């Protein structure tokens, strides 16, 4: 029977949301959308000790900014809730007990001391199935006597547990290699594995999409489905995203955190586009895609088996492409906070500054540093006025700056064309080369060796008054230092 596709994103609130976590959520979302299915958000917070304050809120903020909208979740009941594991704690014990009845699990009374006696030199033990075949009457007696217990999975012996992963193909593990692991702890709470399986089943998840770290424990999970007589979901495991050739991205170390990129001035849609390509490639090899286009193009065949390396330079480039493709108004809106930061309350024309920056900053966070010249004028380094190739030295620079100031003083229309024409005519009158004047003028206007635009553009964004003040200041500075 074909079931309606239901996928879920099940983050654990144990730290930041790095790019790899978000990509898992993105693929689960794309798969659901592509198949007209339902995308569910579940918060897997069984491990309260590792819970990080604010991490749940961050999951919501990140998904919202990324445009990855869930259909069901803690804030959107779809009839399968609660969607937060700590709110489901009453559920797991009864399922563990049911599994005992069904022969897929058993009570274990082994105490800490006994388990420690099984440890190897590294302090690791594999449970020796000591309680696996206890007489039911004895179990009853010990439970009635209130002895502490856990419930363990009764892994069938002598079988090979196999499944077909949508990305990695056939995965099989011999049952001899699977431990009779704990499903329900002595405090009556589930282990992570058990809660995950029970929830996926009860929430009707048809496709489990997650990182490869779960690839080899999935056969063990499947044995729980089998013991309950539940239909197994289909699995899609995703290869890891690496920081470099040997290290995976890690939320523990705050690597490649989505929100950090936003605060550096990346656009959410560009980040999402970039991470979609980390491990997946559409049939036509397109790179720049909207979320909607990705949904249409998403197919499992395009998912890679090998890990990919997170390359910030590439993401930066893609972000620049997004910025350039925006309309003037859109760009103005996203760039405004950064432009305001750059001008610090001064009276510059923000629209002119936005127009200047749109093609010149790959990420918005570069704007303040690229516009640093707006606040930067004073005792410039005099060496900057020298340009050997153009045959500019301090005295040529002085003549050029004076000429530009004189020409521009009477100019009324402060536009790029008008300034250009005016300076050009001034240079001709004064018998100077255009390049010499432009070079000297740019240094005088900005005090920087590298600027986001040439002299004319700098004059436009500075405005007439400020431009003249700067030219006159340089004139005096050069005069004094000849
Ligand atoms: N809570 C798990 C994690 O954050 C996800 C496990 C799963 O998707 O099954 O890694």
- C-alpha–C-alpha distance, residues 319 and 209, integer Å: 27
Ligand 1, residues 8, 40, 214, 225: which to mutate, most atoms within 8 A of Cβ? 214
Pocket of ligand 1 (CB under 6 A): 10-12, 44, 196, 208, 210, 214
Q: What pLDDT score was predicted for residue 18?
A: 84
Helical residues (DSSP H) of 102-257, grouped into ranges: 112-117, 136-144, 192-202, 218-228
CA of 11 to the centre of ligand 1 (A): 5
- C-alpha–C-alpha distance, residues 343 and 346, integer Å: 5
CA of 10 to the centre of ligand 1 (A): 5
pLDDT band of residue 482 (cuts 50, 70, 90) is confident
Report the share of the chain in percent with pLDDT over 70. Answer: 99
Q: What is the atom index within ligand 1 of the atom nearest the CA of 14?
A: 4
Closest residue by Cα to atom 5, ligand 1, is 10
For the chain, first and last CA: distance in Å?
90
**Which position has the token pair 């909208």?**
69
Higher pLDDT, 283 or 17: 283
Ligand 1, residues 22, 29, 211: which to mutate, most atoms within 8 A of Cβ? 211
Residue 48 predicted with pLDDT over 90: no
389 contacts 361 by C-beta, under 8 angstroms: no
- C-alpha–C-alpha distance, residues 235 and 360, integer Å: 44
Catalytic residue numbers? 251
Q: What pLDDT score was predicted for residue 154?
A: 98
23 contacts 303 by C-beta, under 8 angstroms: no
pLDDT tens, residue by residue, 131-183: 999 999 999 999 999 999 999 999 999 999 999 999 999 999 999 999 999 99
pLDDT, mean of residues 249-265: 83
Give which of 138, 150, 134 is closest to 185, Cα–Cα: 150
pTM of the model: 0.90
Ligand 1, residues 11, 190, 209: which to mutate, most atoms within 8 A of Cβ? 11
Residue 1 predicted with pLDDT over 50: no
Residue 254 predicted with pLDDT over 70: no
CA of 167 to the centre of ligand 1 (A): 17
In 3-state terms the chain splits into helix, strand, coil percentages (rounded to 5) of 50, 10, 40
pLDDT band of residue 250 (cuts 50, 70, 90) is confident
pLDDT, mean of residues 260-288: 95
Q: What is the atom index within ligand 1 of the atom nearest the CA of 196?
A: 9
- C-alpha–C-alpha distance, residues 163 and 172, integer Å: 7
CA of 234 to the centre of ligand 1 (A): 15
Q: What is the atom index within ligand 1 of the atom nearest the CA of 24?
A: 8
CA of 58 to the centre of ligand 1 (A): 16
Q: What is the atom index within ligand 1 of the atom nearest the CA of 209?
A: 8
CA of 201 to the centre of ligand 1 (A): 15
Q: What pLDDT score was predicted for residue 2?
A: 61
405 contacts 472 by C-beta, under 8 angstroms: yes
What is the residue-averaged pLDDT of the chain? 94
pLDDT tens, residue by residue, 377-405: 777 888 999 899 889 999 999 999 999 99
pLDDT, mean of residues 195-212: 97
pLDDT, mean of residues 298-325: 95
Q: What pLDDT score was predicted for residue 282?
A: 92
Residue 315 predicted with pLDDT over 50: yes
Closest residue by Cα to atom 6, ligand 1, is 10
pLDDT, mean of residues 60-85: 96
Q: What pLDDT score was predicted for residue 420?
A: 97
Q: Which of 191-200, 381-390, 456-465, 472-481 is predicted with the least confidence, judged by mean pLDDT?
A: 381-390
């Amino acid at each position: 029977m074909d079931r309606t596709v239901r996928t879920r994103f099940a983050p654990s609130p144990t730290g930041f949301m790095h790019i790899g976590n978000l990509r898992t959520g993105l693929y689960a979302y794309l798969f659901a959308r592509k198949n007209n299915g339902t995308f569910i958000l579940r918060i897997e917070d069984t491990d309260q000790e590792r819970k990080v304050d604010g991490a749940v809120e961050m999951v919501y903020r990140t998904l919202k900014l990324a445009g990855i909208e869930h259909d069901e979740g803690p804030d959107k009941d779809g009839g399968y809730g609660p969607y937060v594991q700590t709110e489901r704690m009453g559920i797991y014990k009864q399922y563990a007990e049911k599994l005992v009845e069904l022969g897929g699990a058993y009570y274990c009374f082994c105490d800490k001391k006994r388990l420690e006696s099984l440890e190897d030199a590294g302090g690791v033990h594999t449970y020796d199935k000591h309680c696996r075949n206890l007489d039911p009457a004895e179990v009853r007696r010990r439970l009635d006597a209130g002895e502490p217990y856990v419930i363990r999975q009764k892994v069938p012996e002598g079988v090979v547990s196999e499944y077909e992963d949508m990305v990695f193909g056939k995965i099989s593990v011999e049952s001899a290699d699977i431990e009779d692991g704990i499903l329900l702890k002595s405090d009556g709470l589930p282990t992570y594995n058990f809660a995950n399986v029970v929830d996926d089943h009860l929430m009707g998840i048809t496709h489990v999409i997650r990182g490869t770290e779960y690839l080899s424990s999935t056969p063990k999970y499947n044995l729980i489905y089998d013991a309950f007589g539940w239909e197994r979901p289909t699995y899609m495991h995703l290869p890891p995203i690496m920081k470099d050739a040997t290290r995976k991205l890690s939320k523990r170390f705050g690597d490649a955190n989505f929100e950090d990129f936003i605060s550096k001035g990346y656009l959410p849609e560009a980040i999402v586009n970039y991470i979609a390509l980390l491990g997946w490639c559409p049939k036509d090899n397109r790179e720049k895609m909207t979320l909607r286009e990705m949904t249409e193009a998403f197919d499992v065949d395009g998912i890679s088996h090998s890990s990919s390396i997170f390359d910030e330079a590439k993401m930066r480039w893609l972000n620049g492409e997004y910025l350039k493709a925006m309309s003037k108004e859109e760009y103005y809106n996203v760039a405004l906070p950064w432009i305001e930061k750059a001008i610090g309350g001064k009276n510059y024309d923000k629209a002119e500054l936005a127009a200047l920056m749109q093609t010149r900053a790959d990420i918005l966070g570069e704007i303040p540093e690229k516009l640093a010249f707006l606040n930067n004028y004073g005792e410039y380094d005099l060496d900057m006025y020298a340009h050997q190739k153009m045959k500019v030295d301090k005295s040529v620079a002085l003549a050029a700056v004076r000429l530009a100031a004189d020409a521009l003083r009477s100019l009324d229309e402060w536009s790029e064309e008008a300034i250009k024409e005016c300076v050009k005519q001034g240079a001709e009158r004064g018998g100077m080369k255009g390049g010499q004047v432009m070079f000297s003028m740019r240094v005088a206007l900005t005090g920087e060796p590298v600027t986001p635009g040439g002299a004319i553009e700098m004059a436009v964004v500075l405005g007439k008054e400020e431009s003249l003040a700067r030219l006159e200041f340089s004139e005096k500075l050069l005069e004094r230092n000849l």
